[in-house]
Amino acid sequence: MPIIKPVNGKSPEIGDDCYIAENATIVGEVSMGNQCSIWFNAVLRGDVHFIKMGDKVNVQDGAVIHATYQKSPTTIGNNVSIGHNAIVHGCTIQDNVLIGMGSIVMDDCVVESNTIVAAGAVVTKNTRIEAGSIYAGIPAKKVKDISKELIKGEINRIADNYVKYSGWFKD
């Protein structure tokens, strides 16, 4: 059974047709839309500020989503994939975004729509990632504009696949 529990009187709200892995943790003020999936060992801690997620968001194995106490909530749009072991902390992720495996997105960042944050990238505090771009490196910098093929072939493909994969695990 996943750990899903209230903190300070605020309970997680889980949308329709979502999958939560048996050892995932979701606590506090967390709200998620429909067709989301929270995978093995992922942690969503809405204890110090809220976490709000749209529809068709997948939080892959070992990822951590958190916020900063009374200062920086975490907001995630629709059709977002958060890769294995990524950290998303006190920031805004807009729609149609891929946060690569092992990457870190820090407080008060804004990742605009149709964007890829490459695996292992570190997006430092207060960075604004412009729509339609790929950012990579430490600290993350723009490496190129994203093509329509990458939006369809990576961002949409991964989000759609995780809806399919979650169906394999539902009772």
Question: What are the tens digits of pLDDT across the range 45-91?
Answer: 999 999 999 999 999 999 999 999 999 999 999 999 999 999 999 99
Residue 3, strand partner residues = 25
| Residue 44, pLDDT above cutoff 90 | yes
Largest distance between two CA atoms of the chain = 45
Total-model pTM: 0.97
Amino acid 151: pLDDT: 86
How much is the mean pLDDT over the chain?
97
Q: Is the pLDDT of residue 147 over 70?
A: yes
What's the pLDDT score for residue 171?
Answer: 67
Domains of the chain: 3-169 (2.160.10.10)
